[in-house]
Amino acid sequence: MKVLVVGSGGREHALCWKIRSSPLVSEVLCAPGNAGTASVARNLPVKASDIPGLVELARREAVGLVVIGPEEPLCLGLADKLRAAGLLVFGPDASGARLEGSKVFAKEFLTRHRIPAAQSRRFDRSGTAKSYLEACSQWPQVIKASGLAGGKGVTIVRSAREGCTLIDALMEERTLGEAGVEVVIEEFLVGEEVSVLAITDGEALLILDPVMDHKQVGDGDSGPNTGGMGVCSPVTVLSRRMMRQIEQHVLVATLHGMRLEELSFRGLLFVGLMLTESGPRVLEYNCRFGDPEAQALMRRMRSDLVPYLIATAQGKLGELEGPEWDSRVCVGVVGAAEGYPGSVRRGDPIHGLAQAEAVPDVVVFHSGTRFSRGLEPEVLTDGGRVLCVTSLGKDLTEARELAYTAFDKLQWEGRFCRRDIGLRHLTRPAQTSADAAPGASATRTEDPERPLRRPGPR
């Protein structure tokens, strides 16, 4: 069958790359795609925000499955429209996508269902928000734009003056547009941040191997937040005990809450968590694969992804068991354009792609790239995060060495990356086999009080 992947980033390149390897798939289409997806899929010039155009495209191409990558079309109701047209879709309806589309809604959902999270307050007036900050006695504080902001809506502020300046920028100057009309101010949590992703059809959970993203733009977690500057998997700081807490008190509780509130969700539930001394706390929900988390997961998943996508779209995920994972460590290093995460250079030629991918066990996924026009098109930069260099190694040291060796073969004007991806793990003892977090598992959740079925990986 044909599979249509919607989107144009590194996540979509990784999904196309993985889906193309399935014997169930005759062709992969990507709308609109990028220079990287063109090597594994047929790019089609329909924007991810063009809901009618994508529905028409899926009908015209007679695709058997649509996989929606970015959050914007999900929040705009693309999955609803495709399902109404009789198409199989991996991705939640607009009701489920509200968990990402509105941080105010997400925080209220967490409170209603007693899911552990940071304490917070919502504000729709800048004056009230600034008064709250001026009365705060504990610092830092975290300010979040409520709407979609492309990974740029979360800022840690360390004083009332800094916070009030940001509030004016978000709520008065509208530097993030409508995303900053409402804000959430929450306590700053101390601990390790991890990402736990689970495929769900609303009744069953397939918990994927955890991943650790590196959000800040600079080494040592310095500078502003970004959409992600690098990733490593598996996560050595996540114990079996902590993973059980996340499954029971966060993932299962979230699915139970979605059913109670009739939020339709057949897709990927992404939970950003802080592992604190008092247990896991939810930082955010996403309604799709993360970027660059997806790149690491697609590299490490040895099983065919497509049966899980189809079963989720059909509401039959509980019939499958967990996938097989590569035991090696994956490191992903994001190469960014000059100016990121602010205004960036575009249109610079990228050199060294073939040399980078010639490094053993390395795959380079494209995020912000496009082809130049002409008889001999070049690959050009076309976004803030340009490429993600992924590698597999027997341990973290080898994976890091391979990733940075490959990255250093790439050249474009103004390129930069973080040089410490995964480095913090090298200073920590590995979990013992008895305490290490388990791999992916399938769990049915018809009754939240019923003992959970965990068949584990094959």
Pair (182, 272) in one structural domain: no
Pair (199, 321) in one structural domain: yes
Helix (H), strand (E), coil (C) string for the chain:
CEEEEEECCHHHHHHHHHHHCCCCCCEEEEEECCCCHHHCCEECCCCCCCHHHHHHHHHHCCCCEEEECCHHHHHCCHHHHHHHCCCCEECCCHHHHHHHHCHHHHHHHHHHCCCCECCEEEECCHHHHHHHHHHCCCCCEEEEECCCCCCCCEEEECCHHHHHHHHHHHHHCCCCHHHHCCEEEEECCCCEEEEEEEEECCCEEEECCCEEECCEEECCCEEEECCCCEEEECCCCCEHHHHHHHHHHHHHHHHHHHHHCCCCCCEEEEEEEEEECCEEEEEEEECCCCCCHHHHHHHHECCCCHHHHHHHHHCCHHHCCECCECCCEEEEEEEECCCCCCCCCCCCECECHHHHHCCCCEEEEECCEEECCCCCCCEEECCCEEEEEEEEECCHHHHHHHHHHHHCCCECCCCECCCCCCHHHHHCCCCCCCCECCCCEEEECCCCCCCCCCCCEC
Angle formed at CA 353 by CA 348 and CA 356, multiple of 5 degrees: 135
Q: Of 187, 218, 239, which residue is a domain's last?
A: 187
Pair (383, 417) in one structural domain: yes
Q: Looking at residue 319, which CATH number applies to its domain?
A: 3.30.470.20
Question: How far is it, in rounded angstroms, from Cα 266 to Cα 142?
Answer: 31
Pair (8, 60) in one structural domain: yes
Q: Looking at residue 358, which CATH number applies to its domain?
A: 3.90.600.10
- Output the CA–CA distances (angstroms, integers) from residue 118 to 106, 269, 301, 388, in the order listed: 12, 19, 32, 31
Pair (39, 129) in one structural domain: no
| pLDDT above 50 for 448 | no
Predicted confidence at residue 439, as pLDDT, reads 53
Q: Above pLDDT 70, what percent of the chain?
A: 93
Q: Is residue 114 part of a domain?
A: no
Per-residue pLDDT tens over the stretch 221-270: 999 989 899 999 999 888 889 999 999 999 999 999 999 999 999 999 99
> Residue 151 — pLDDT band, cuts 50, 70, 90?
confident
Q: Is residue 230 part of a domain?
A: yes
Predicted confidence at residue 237, as pLDDT, reads 83
Nearest to 172 by CA among 226, 121, 130: 130
| pLDDT above 90 for 290 | yes
Pair (240, 351) in one structural domain: no
Q: Looking at residue 155, which CATH number applies to its domain?
A: 3.30.1490.20
Pair (150, 294) in one structural domain: no
Q: Is residue 113 part of a domain?
A: no
Question: How far is it, in rounded angstroms, from Cα 455 to Cα 458?
Answer: 8
Q: Is residue 111 part of a domain?
A: no
Total number of domains in the chain: 4
The letter for the amino acid at 235 is V
Q: Above pLDDT 90, what percent of the chain?
A: 85
Mean pLDDT lowest among 207-221, 394-408, 425-439 = 425-439
Pair (175, 217) in one structural domain: no
Mean pLDDT of the chain: 92
Predicted confidence at residue 441, as pLDDT, reads 54
Q: Which residue has the higher pLDDT, 457 or 391?
A: 391
Pair (198, 305) in one structural domain: yes
Q: Which residue has the higher pLDDT, 239 or 198?
A: 198
Predicted confidence at residue 444, as pLDDT, reads 52
Q: Is residue 346 part of a domain?
A: yes
For residue 313, what are the domain limits?
A: 190-326+428-458
Q: Is residue 379 part of a domain?
A: yes
Mean pLDDT lowest among 84-98, 117-131, 418-432 = 418-432
Predicted confidence at residue 9, as pLDDT, reads 96
Q: Looking at residue 79, which CATH number applies to its domain?
A: 3.40.50.20
| pLDDT above 60 for 370 | yes
Pair (180, 214) in one structural domain: no
Predicted confidence at residue 405, as pLDDT, reads 98
Pair (270, 194) in one structural domain: yes
Q: Is residue 101 part of a domain?
A: no
Predicted confidence at residue 453, as pLDDT, reads 35
| pLDDT above 50 for 281 | yes
Q: Is residue 105 part of a domain?
A: no
